[in-house]
Chains A and B, each alone.
Chain A
């Protein structure tokens, strides 16, 4: 349909487009990470101004999502990428959706941090939240790292950490309920904390989603509704089959 020369030309332009878009996704990811760290800091330090600032800055995340999304749609329409390039585009579009949702969760944490700043701090000074915050921030950071480097192995490793996050989440919620039962005056604060913990747990889910898109990009396999063990086994098996066939 097209000459080799034209094909090359198109693919060079496409590669330039891709590089530009990938850079912007990484900038967006970096900003979301920073927002997350600031929101947890605002909560722990009782810094209401910082909490409000984080919440206010969420519009920047939204704006980045819309801009990158439009850019991707434009590339798909004008470059008509091949199947494997198209897979990368789809993965990018999905990734920025999850980043935007992480932004929304962070925004909630920011508002709650601002509200809680005036209340008495809990005796353990949010030790559990600090820990959970570190876990999910690490997941987001490493999920983006794996995405940028097209590293499916790292993506699997990061996705597996979500189980740890879920366990911590359950533990913190149980502890939170115990606090409330012991001291009903704490109920208002404990309910706010419940939302924070919930937001952090969801951020872990979104980071895991990003890992799944990386696997999709690299192996062309949709693993969302599979267990991680099954997904890894199936990918290993099909790679082994491909080797014996050639």
Chain B
């Protein structure tokens, strides 16, 4: 089975590794799609769309378990080293973030179901635009991040970080606006709370996409860039004392 290509022995597990990435990519694309479906369900009081998100969430969970089990099997049987080992570790970290991002869409879908009920209230009208815009950004950054994971392209990490900052700014602006709504219409506090949490979910999805992009950097270069900013700040502080 083995063949010699440019001095490398192409083993069966090279195929297994790219298959692992392909599956993580497929899972990530569904996670990205879930974000937009969940928010659409919320804004249009679309019960069916919300149910669909909840149903697909099961699929995402199942894929996470399968991909992790496969990663584990590769680690135990093939004992991969260097970049192959990094691929397996990066993919298992990435699917953890993907699953958690999926959870956030599930929460939004539950809010959508609750607010589509009789007599319930959904997000106030002024929140529709920020919700829709944040959903687009979060979904887009997730798509960019998982594409990078599939291709092993660390260069897009900057793009994902930029999208994440944009999401954060939108989130802060929406929160300030929502505070005014809360003060003016105290009867609507429950939907205001739920809207805050929906916005927060979208903000977290942006964080998870950023994490996935960081796992891609680790996969490609072996550098752990998590907390890089914080670590620099801490180092600066340490030298001050």
Contact = CB atoms under 8 A, between A and B. Distances in A.
B34 to A, nearest CB: 16
Given A59-B230, A69-B224, A80 B79 contact: yes
A60 B68 CA distance: 29
Contacts of A83: 76
Interface stretch (B9-17, B166-174, B182-190): B182-190
A177 B193 contact: yes
Interface stretch (A18-26, A148-156, A157-165, A184-192): A184-192
A59 B233 contact: yes
A181 interface: yes
A77 interface: yes
Nearest to B69: A222
Interface residues of A, number: 34
A170 to B, nearest CB: 11
B61 interface: yes
Nearest to B175: A191
Interface string B214-231: 000000000010110011
Given A59-B231, A86-B72, A173-B193, A76 B183 contact: no
B72 A90 contact: yes
Interface residues on B, range: 20 to 34
Contact of B189 (A82, A180, A225): A180
Interface string A52-68: 00001011101101100
Given A73-B85, A83-B76, A66 B224 contact: yes
A229 B61 CA distance: 19
B154 interface: no
Contacts of B4: none
A70 B226 CA distance: 12
Interface of A: 56, 58-60, 62-63, 65-66, 69-70, 73, 76-77, 80, 82-83, 86-87, 90, 94, 97, 173, 177, 180-181, 184, 187-188, 191, 194, 198, 222, 224-225
13 contacts: A59-B227, A60-B234, A66-B224, A66-B227, A76-B75, A90-B92, A181-B186, A181-B187, A181-B189, A184-B183, A188-B179, A194-B193, A225-B65
Given A59-B234, A59-B237, A187-B179, 5 more contacts: A56-B237, A65-B226, A86-B72, A173-B193, A225-B62
> Which 8 A-B residue pairings sit nearest by Cβ, starting from the closest?
A59-B234, A62-B227, A80-B79, A83-B76, A225-B61, A177-B189, A181-B186, A59-B230
Interface of B: 61-62, 65, 68-69, 72, 75-76, 79, 81-82, 85, 89, 92-93, 96, 179, 182-183, 186-187, 189-190, 193, 196-197, 224, 226-227, 230-231, 233-234, 237
